Each structure stands twice: as C-alpha cells, then as structure tokens.
Chains A and B, each alone.
With several copies, the nearest count.
Chain A
Amino acid sequence: MPELRMRDALREALREELIRDERVFLMGEDIGAYGGSYAVTHGLLDEFGEARVMDTPISESGIVGAGVGAALAGLRPMVEIMTINFSLVAIDQIINNASKIHYMSGGQFNVPLVIRMASGGGSQLGATHSHSLEGMYAHFPGLRVVCPAFPADAKALLKRAFRDENPVIFIEHTALYSSRGEVPEDTDLILEFGVANTIREGCDVTIVGYSGSVHQALRAAVLLDKQEGISAEIIDLRTLRPLDMDAIVESVKRTNRAVVVEDDWKFGGFGGELSAQIMERAFDWLDAPVARVSGKDVPMPYNRNLEYAALPAEEDVVEAVLAMQ
C-alpha cells in the first residue's frame, strides 16, 4: 500500500468522487488558483476546470447557502470553509437550513452537502484562528460530523460523505495534514459512519479520542506501557455523529476505566457527552470516574509556551490514567 500524507489522501478522495459522479463539484475560497490554503485541492482546478472547482469570494454564508441550494436541486456540492473558525459566519446556513430542511419539508427535500473544514490549534494562530468546534456541530440533529485521524480513514470517510443524503461536516485537523499513513488503492473503498475503530487493544484503561487527540492517546499509551506497565486500549471514534457508543461501552466494561481526550475546551465540550454516556451505560463497571483530558478553558494564546500549556498533551493523558489507579 502506498503511503500518503493526509492532504493527499483527501485530494484522492475528491478526485475520485469528481470522476465517479458528475453531480459532484467543489466550491470554496482559494481552492482553485491559490491551490487550497492547505493544498488539499491542489491541481484539481487544472484537471476538472472552473465549472467543477469554483473559487469563491469571501462569503462563507453565501457559499454554504449556495451549496444548500445546489444540493436541493440535485447536485452533490462540496463546500470548503477554509477553517472552522470562519464557519461561525456561516453557521446559520448549516443549522437553520442544511440540518433542518429535510425535517421541515416532511421528508420532501434533502440536502446532500459535504462541508469540509480545517480545525484545531497548535500553530500559533491566536484566539480567533484556533478553534476546535466539531463537538459543537455534533450537537445538532440532522448533521453528520466526521473527524478522521488517519489518511486511510480520511479518504474512505470523505468518499462515504459524498454518498450521503444529508449534510456532512467533515473535520480535518490542521496538525495532521502532513501526517503520513498507508492508504489502500481500492477506489471503491468507503467506511460507514458510526463505526469506531479500536486502534490499540489493552486491558487496564480505555482511552477515547477523535481527530488530533487520537495521536496524543497513542503516544500516551506507549509511555504508559513503557513506564508503568499499564496497557491502554484506544478507541478512535472517527465520527462524532453518529456516535459508536456501543464500542466504547463494550471496551470500558472490560477495562473498568475510561479517559476521554479532546483538543476543545473542557467546559461544555463533547467530552462531557462521552463521559456522561459512559457513566449512564457502564456505571457498575467503572472503578473510577471517567476522566476528561481537554484544552484549558482559555481563548487560544498566541505565545508558543502558553499555547502549548493550553492544549492537551500525552503527559496529561498519562497523568489522568495514573490518577485512576
């Protein structure tokens, strides 16, 4: 299997979908002539032309709304919002239109729209440019929220997104764009939504993560194994909505301990949902309260040291696990 960077795996998915389905087209700021602000769409304008790879003005609300309209009319648009931070000026289109029209029309219409967004901090972009809001989107019925952690999953899930009849929020962690991984060449390979992946088996504790935090979990598991002889099981959620709670519960009932890891602020974050559901469904199996390792509740600082302190690190995960023993 060829090894690809995350951004290349995403590009392959887009290419293959553009070829497979003529209803598919891409819209976004600087996805064409500029080559994509994170180079995901690089080269697609030359290959598919302006009609299917559209550079747009800086009008997030306008282009997401246009995507909703094009989807209602039978197309399969993908709108790239450069980063999730800018989705805040388009969120009304996502929530009040994309996620609700199927319901409000009594099932007559539906909105097969893929919205890709880069998310996450860690690049010293400051408070307005470092949000991790995928958990917020997962709150809304009618949406799918996809958060891949590896190139192969990213490709298979993005291809799956184009086959969905509903709006899909597809999250790409900026810190993972250059990460590499083996990606199967099979162009028909897709991954179903709502199927978590146990990427490491263990018996002492279950660590749950998604997107970037899966990698902190992996590094933490190695440290725990080496330094403490603790064997950690790691579950990569892959999608937040639908959520594969069964996989988590099954694991926790074996390990009796759980840690949830995410980049986002802890207070009111998605980790609370995971923690609460684990308690609700595995209360009698828990030897300790579910622990949450999250970002600190502070607007993201620009300064490098402060930003590092604000984000969760593998050491924090290790600490949380040790505190449970």
Chain B
Amino acid sequence: MRSGLTTESVAGPAIDDYPEKLLHHFLHQMAFIRRFEERCGEMYTKGKIHGFLHLYIGEEACAVGALNALKDQDRVITHYRDHGHAIARGIDPKRIMAELYGRVDGTSRGRGGSMHIFDRKKNFFGGHAIVAGHMPVATGLGLASKMHKDDALTMCIFGDGGVGEGEFHEALNLSVLWNTPVIWFCENNGYGMGVKLSDSIANDIYKIAAAYRMPSERCNGMDVLAVYEAVRAAVKHTRSGSGPYFVEAMTYRYRGHSMADPELYRTKAEVEKFQGRDPIERLRHQMVEAGLLTAADHSELLDRIEGEVRECIEFADSSPNPDISTLFDFIIKEPSNA
C-alpha cells in the first residue's frame, strides 16, 4: 500500500517558534521566485528567452525551506528546473535572468541557458538537464568533503521522475556505502512531464530510499516551515558525520512542465485544488494571523519585488550577446602546471 503525508494542510510547525526576520525572509524569497518565474514566462512568450523553460511556480516552499537550512560552504547541485534553487541560494537574480537571455553577464556567460545555472562562488554546481545524471556527481561531491574532511555537506535536488533512472539507485547506494555527507532532496510534484508518479515508480519514494539503510523522511512541500524543519534534521544528521539522509517533499507545479506543455494529462480542477494549498499564501496567512504582517506590509513587499524583478529584466536586456569570436572558449581548460 502507498501511504504517507500528502500536501494537504496538515498542521505544520507553529510560526511563533521562528525569528520574525527569518519568516519575512522566507516570504520575500518565495514571493520573489514566484514573480521572477511569472515574468520569465512572459519574456519567453515575447521571444526574449528561448529553448526549454521550466517554471517553478507552486514549488517555492521547497527551494526556500531547503536551501535556507544550509551554510555557505555547503554544496548544492540540482536538475534543470533550477531558477528557484539558484535564487534561494542567493545567486544574483540579474545574472540568472541574463543567462536565460543568453547574454555575457549571465551566470554561464550565456553558454548554459535556463537548464544549466552554475555559480562557483555560491557553491552551486549546476543546473543539470539529463534526468538523474547529476545524482552520482552529488555522491562524488560528498566523497570529496569526506576526503578533505571539510565541513561542507552536499544537497542534491531532483524530481520524482528522476527516481525511475538507474543512476538514482547507483548514487544512493554509493552514498551510503561510502558514508558521504549528502542530503538527497526529492521534489515530488506528482509528475514527470505528463507521467503520474504511480505510473513511474512502484512504491513511495521515501520508502525506496529507506531500503538503502539511510534515514528517509517525507514532508509537506507546500509548507516552507515543514520543509525547513525536515532539512534541518537532515543537516544535523549529515553534518555530524552519520552519512546521507533522504527527504521527499510533496509539492505541485502549477504551470506546464515546460512552456511547450499542452497539459493534456491533468485537469484544471486538479491544478486548482493544489493552488488552494499555495505555500506563499499559507505563510502570508500565518504571519497575518500572528500579527507579523499587515496588508500594507504585504503590498509594499509585492511592490518591492516587482521593482527587483524589473531590474533583472532591464539588466538582461542591456547585456550584450557573446561575441562570435569567443565560440571556442571554455571547451578545454589549459593545464595550470604542465
């Protein structure tokens, strides 16, 4: 039997346990990601952004709850639906937007695009577009920490669809065998493109992960505080040297898989049901209830965000395209000591 927590509004952590500043930070980040993604969608329709564009709308609590539980020295590696993770990690959103535009001021100087956001300074190891292909890489990042004996842990973010790939199995198994400090963070939004979870994996994901003998928890991915708590527990375990930890966050994507998705595989009613459990709305409501946010504060927040995102677009618009003469840059790195 399949079981476990869904995204329904089960009572999550009480907000009075959290510093006011942190709650405002969470609300701001989630709302910023939401608006950033909405505007990306517009810019795509306008022909400013090309290729595949995968929006994160509806899943903001996952990125914000998970990445805020990490430290700067920790490493993050994720899949192609990566804008929300990049923003929550603190990467300059102007440079993210410029990358989506393919401009020289983009995080990858316009070479990578939406699916391949990298930022060395933020220990953000990409943005990977081959489903589950980054999972063994995460095991290797963890292995390096173990060898360096540094205090960095690695968070690997992937989707429910990635669980179908053999590399999920190899990466998890190796991470346990080698006792690497890796947190496996699965964003289970119920679909891999148009394929329902129940058609793609034979058991609950967190139960399959548990079979590798690592702690494995499921949390409500529509509640930023629930995600934050789940990942904090994972960080505690992993940083103490006890090895990998698996977290499955139950969430939902409001938009199509990519901008090309006709969405034939689900009903509008289903989408609306989950929109009724919106993570941003949930936190806003909690903060209002607790007297931490007035209507005025909130509209002021949205205005600020509107301006911040506009700046990103202006920045990207004004950044030049890479020069054709640089076509062959970055293929081979010349040896440092040979």
A–B contact with Cβ pairs below 8 Å: the answer is yes
Expressed in whole angstroms, the Cα–Cα distance for A127 and B331 within the complex equals 11
How many chain B residues sit at the interface, stated as a range, is 35 or more
The answer to whether A97 touches B137 (Cβ under 8 A) is yes
A62 touches which of B113, B170, B332 (Cβ 8 Å): B170
User: From B137, which residue of chain A is reached at the shortest CB distance?
Assistant: A69
Tally of contact residues, A, Cβ under 8 A: 77
A105 touches which of B120, B131, B337 (Cβ 8 Å): B120
The answer to whether A61 touches B136 (Cβ under 8 A) is yes
Chain B 298-310: CB-based contact to A (< 8 A → 1; otherwise 0): 0000000000000
Chain B 124-139: CB-based contact to A (< 8 A → 1; otherwise 0): 0111111111111111
User: From B164, which residue of chain A is reached at the shortest CB distance?
Assistant: A57
Instruction: Say if the beta carbon of B238 comes within 8 Å of chain A.
Output: no
User: From B108, which residue of chain A is reached at the shortest CB distance?
Assistant: A106
The answer to whether A62 touches B333 (Cβ under 8 A) is no
Residues of B with C-beta under 8 A to A88: 130
Residues of A with C-beta under 8 A to B173: 57, 59, 62
The answer to whether A61 touches B166 (Cβ under 8 A) is yes
Instruction: Say if the beta carbon of B177 comes within 8 Å of chain A.
Output: yes
The answer to whether A33 touches B264 (Cβ under 8 A) is yes
The answer to whether A126 touches B113 (Cβ under 8 A) is yes
Residues of B with C-beta under 8 A to A92: 130, 133
Instruction: Say if the beta carbon of B334 comes within 8 Å of chain A.
Output: yes
The answer to whether A97 touches B133 (Cβ under 8 A) is yes
B265 touches which of A33, A37, A59, A164 (Cβ 8 Å): A33
Chain B 110-132: CB-based contact to A (< 8 A → 1; otherwise 0): 11110110111000011111111
Chief secondary structure at chain B's binding surface: loop
Expressed in whole angstroms, the Cα–Cα distance for A124 and B166 within the complex equals 28
Instruction: Say if the beta carbon of B90 comes within 8 Å of chain A.
Output: no
Expressed in whole angstroms, the Cα–Cα distance for A304 and B113 within the complex equals 10
The answer to whether B51 touches A166 (Cβ under 8 A) is no
Expressed in whole angstroms, the Cα–Cα distance for A34 and B140 within the complex equals 23
The answer to whether B111 touches A33 (Cβ under 8 A) is no
* Given the contacts A65-B167, A70-B144, A55 and B199 also touching, CB distance less than 8 Å: yes
User: From B101, which residue of chain A is reached at the shortest CB distance?
Assistant: A303
B51 touches which of A33, A68, A126 (Cβ 8 Å): A126
Instruction: Say if the beta carbon of A125 comes within 8 Å of chain B.
Output: yes
The answer to whether A72 touches B141 (Cβ under 8 A) is yes
B166 touches which of A62, A102, A125, A192 (Cβ 8 Å): A62
The answer to whether A306 touches B113 (Cβ under 8 A) is no
Chain A 104-130: CB-based contact to B (< 8 A → 1; otherwise 0): 111111100000000000011111110
Instruction: Say if the beta carbon of B327 comes within 8 Å of chain A.
Output: yes
A165 touches which of B107, B200, B335 (Cβ 8 Å): B335
A163 touches which of B52, B162, B338 (Cβ 8 Å): B338
The answer to whether B51 touches A123 (Cβ under 8 A) is yes
Task: Give the B-binding residues of A (Cβ under 8 A).
Answer: 25, 29-30, 32-35, 37, 51, 55-75, 77, 85-86, 88-89, 92-93, 96-97, 101-110, 123-129, 141-142, 160, 163-166, 190, 192, 296-299, 301-306, 309-310
Known: A34-B264, A108-B119, A302-B108. 14 other contacts (CB 8 A): A66-B140, A70-B140, A85-B130, A103-B331, A104-B118, A107-B109, A108-B120, A109-B118, A124-B50, A124-B102, A127-B112, A190-B338, A298-B327, A302-B113
Task: Give the A-binding residues of B (Cβ under 8 A).
Answer: 50-52, 75, 77, 102-103, 106-113, 115-116, 118-120, 125-145, 147-148, 161-162, 164-167, 170-171, 173-174, 177, 192-196, 199-201, 261-262, 264-265, 321-322, 324, 326-338
What would 7 A/B residue contacts be, using CB atoms closer than 8 Å?
A35-B262, A59-B174, A68-B137, A69-B125, A129-B51, A163-B337, A309-B327
